[in-house]
Structure 1
Amino acid sequence: MSLLDRSILVDGVRLAYRDRGQGEPVVFVHGTPSYSYEWRDVVPHVEDAGFRVITYDLLGYGDSERPLDRDTSVGAQTELLVELLDELNLDTVNLITHDIGGAIGQRVAIMHPTRVKRLMLMDTVSYDSWPSATWQKIIREKVDGYSAMGPDEFESMLTKQLRMTLADETVMDGDNLRAFLAPHRTTLGRVSFFQHQVSHYDSTYTEELADRLGEITAPVRIVWGAQDSWQPVSYAERLAADIPDANLVVLPQAGHFLMEDDPAAVTAQVLEFLREDGGR
């Protein structure tokens, strides 16, 4: 199921990653509730197009380490990404980001501007857009008692949430659903999900950027699913207005996990963006 085939030690923690190709570097940053698996239908095409592509699991997600004593907030993940780039000897990269990965991308572009050549934001959290109403309800009702949640109750809850990410819910079924549930099918996986993901659904990390989005100097393309029920298109329009010269593309038949609903359109957008201004 995993795209990833190696690990690297960064600031004392193990990150699972994939590094293919010799061209201009591109880093894919996934969202939540997800992991690098979401890029499986996009990344190989970008690799084949002649780019060096790095794909990884955020700390506490997927195949990366799940240390119970480490901060895995958006702020901490931002600095860990910069340290990962240092470990890989990458000075400047193209960032392709989704959901909370987009919050990380916004923060890197503002706080470490020399590290970002281009930034793509897909259905990113922003401003006060998160957590969504359904996640707010789960946080209120479940987080304090998550240790008592059995595997069946957990999978029912997460399956319902995962299906909300799609314009076509039937895509989230069978082997695909099992792949998204796989990292959480142990007691550690379920505890880690709440500790490393849900407990850090905190809009502070994007609200504090609201007045600084105009500082982004890298070219930005915003790609959004028109049927996103978690992050409405109105937030995409607001981002496009606040980020200098940002370009907005809305995919009509896609939801929040737009790379699940329309992987071909997402791949086309990524490659078109990477080839702008002299890219390969």
Structure 2
Amino acid sequence: MPSVVEIAVVVLSVATAVFLLYPAPPLSKRLSSWKQRGKIYKHNGLEVFYIDEAGSGTGTVFCLHGFPTFSYDWIKVMPYLKTLFARIVLVDFPGYGFSEKPEDYKYSVFDNADVVENLAESLSISSTHILAHDMGDTVTLELVARFKERSGKKGLVLQSMCLLNAGLFPGKFFPRLVQRVFLIPVLGKIAARFTFFEGFRRGGFAEVFGTKPTYEDFEDFYAAIRYRDGNLALPGVLNFIKERHDNEDRWVRGSLKTSPIPVLMVYGPADTVNPSPTFPNQFRKIAPQHKLIVLGKNIGHFPQWEDPETTGKSYVEFIKGLRSSKSKQYEAGSGTGTVFCLHGFPSSSYDWIKIMPYLKNQFARIVLVDFVGMGFSEKPEDYKYSVFDQADMIENLAESLSISSTHILAHDMGDTVALELVARFKERSEDRGLVLTSLCLLNGGKRGPAGFGDIFGTNKPTYEDFEDFYAAIRYRDGNAVLPGLLHYIKERSDNEDRWVNGVLKTSPIPVLMVYGPADPINPSPTFPDQFRKVAPQHKLVVLDKSIGHYPQWEDPENTGRSYVEFIKGLKSKKPKQ
């Protein structure tokens, strides 16, 4: 009777013979038509397939696909691209699609970036937008790194990047089993020789979709992989996963976090490789300044295939916004230096509108930010809202805007975020990081909020003002996140020693407190007495008894003038030797 080993050898031999004798599937009419639209470019002696199509818009876009697919991924969003751009360039990277696929080639993200730059030069393209997916996102980040390094020198100019689902963050994305097998030396090469259609359709590749492709779609994806024996190259092309780990600092912190060009992320949350809420939370933490669009919960790893309409329209809106908008991420003033304005709960950056004239006279840059979960920022219900996370966002935003030092003007919850920023500033000592110049706090308390209408003094907002406050809260279903946002109240109690005793009491920077006494959250005389007790060295301005919790809204004139006087005093003082 044959042994188990002998049976296994026979089965493996039969499977090998079947697979080796089983030819790669023919190209469908759809794929044949796509192939006929393209041309061949020679890169390092390899044939690289690309399509260069004309559109009715302006400018150029390069479309960079992911693993294990090819340029055909973009066919469903081509109508949107053709209305936007004059040229749409779609490339199959070496080892993919209709490009050459040698098994022994040294596949690399860096080499793929060379392909894009060299192809652009051969096509006389000097500037381009980038639309990318999966591995193509990583190639894009390498292109951005090079663009930053050139700093005005001759080379491909990048105008914007739109990224779709990708494992951008090492340790927070989860390659499928088949990918992990392909990455195992020797075993990966053996496994690549047994890439059967049914295993492909039902296995790892199918798992990444939320809304599944049709049977015919799977046939096309599979045929493109098998074309030119591409299955043999799969272990090699997967080298990009290791490169992501090795170059995290260059690509995530260097290119994504501090991108010199506008960024849009379109994300399908039903993605087993980059699951929700892990991916969107990490993206918001690393790059809060960039726009993130989360698609329907049934959309997975391939937004451009599963939901081409929303993906296409989102991209059109993004590009049109860049072309038509003259808005900046900050307001310019006629003074010197920078100020960050941090609002409170439950409102938004709009809180500062009445004192903007005072700020514009005093500073060169005024940065007003809506915290995550508030105003016009994204408001995910399952996000872990935290003072620490909001402080991260401010530091990351400052870095992305190349702001190395700033004054802080804060109110309510923003006061607490400001105190956390000061705590970090103290801890850094001489280390590199955001330098804080001064701190101005408006009514902020330890206790929880009262009813919104109750916290104002006698100078209450108008009916229209209340409508605006309410609309900002309800925008993007913000009412659903209010319980999560209020976590800062517990954090105040938990971190009293760090923020009150460690920062307010011993602040290394000048502090001004502007206080409205008709505030039921922080009543008088309890609040001013406690402030004088804890921090007698800091200046306290008490406004009229009719002014409540919102000094900047209820009495913008005295609030603004008090702040201007404070800042002018700091600027006029000469540092002692």
TM-score by length of 2: 0.44
**Structure-2 residue corresponding to 1:198:** 238
Would the aligned equivalents of 2:270 and 2:299 in 1 still touch at CA under 8 Å? yes
Specify whether residues 143 and 44 from structure 1 end up closer, same or farther in structure 2 by C-alpha distance, changes over 3 A only: farther
Residue 61 (structure 2) aligns with: 26
Given the alignment of the two structures, is residue 125 of structure 1 paired with residue 125 of structure 2, yes or no?
Answer: no
Identify if the C-alpha distance between structure 1 residues 149 and 76 changes in structure 2 by more than 3 Å, giving closer, same or farther. Answer: closer
Structure 1 counterpart of 2:571: none
Greater RCO between the two (CA within 8 Å, min separation 6)?
Answer: 1
Aligned to 1:255: 300
- Matched residue, 1:218: 261
Deviation at 1:71, TM superposition (A): 2.2
- Which of 5, 11, 14 is matched with 2:47 structurally? 14
Residues 103, 206 of structure 1: 8 Å contact kept: no
TM-aligned CA deviation for residue 117 of structure 1: 0.3
RMSD in angstroms over aligned alpha carbons? 2.6
Aligned to 1:231: 274
SS of match in other structure, 1:112: helix
* Native 8 Å contact 2:210 2:270 kept in 1: yes
Q: How does 1:20-99 map to 2 (within 5 A)?
A: 20-21=53-54, 23-99=58-134
In structure 1, the partner of 2:190 is 147
> Is the contact made by 1:126 and 1:206 (CA closer than 8 Å) also made in structure 2?
no
Post-superposition Cα deviations, 1:70-91, rounded to whole Å, max 9, x if no partner, equal 3222122122212222212222
Change (3 A) 1:193 1:225: same
1:119, distance to aligned residue in structure 2 (A): 0.5
Q: How many residues align?
A: 276
Does the alignment pair 1:167 with 2:210? yes
Distance 2:161 2:206 in 1: 27
Does structure 2 conserve the Cα–Cα contact (< 8 Å) formed by 1:117 and 1:218? yes
* Distance 1:142-1:13 versus aligned 2 partners, 3 A rule: closer
Distance 1:194 1:154, change over 3 A: farther
CA 1:155–1:142: 2 relative to 1, 3 Å: farther
Q: Which amino acid aligns with 1:174?
A: Y
Pair member with larger Rg: 2
Residues 75, 104 of structure 1: 8 Å contact kept: yes
Q: Provide Cα deviations, 1:232-269, integer angstroms capped at 9, x if missing partner.
A: 24223323432362100000131001122111111111
246-255 vs 154-163, which deviates more?
154-163
Tell which deviates more after alignment, 105-114 or 140-149.
140-149
More moved, 249-258 vs 13-22: 13-22
- TM-score (normalizing by structure 1): 0.87
Amino acid at match of 1:118: S
Match of residue 136 from structure 2 = 101
Runs of 5+ unmatched residues, structure 1: none
Residues 181 and 191, structure 2, Cα contact 8 Å, conserved in 1:
no
For structure 2, the residue ranges without an aligned partner over 5 or more in a row are 1-30, 149-155, 325-577
2: CA distance, partners of 1:141 / 1:274: 41
Q: Secondary structure at the match of 2:232?
A: helix
What is the match of residue 249 of structure 2? Answer: 208
CA separation in 1, counterparts of 2:198 and 2:217? 15
Percent identity of paired positions between Structure 1 and Structure 2: 21
Contact 2:80 2:313 in 1 (8 A): no
Q: Which residue of 1 aligns with 2:38?
A: 5
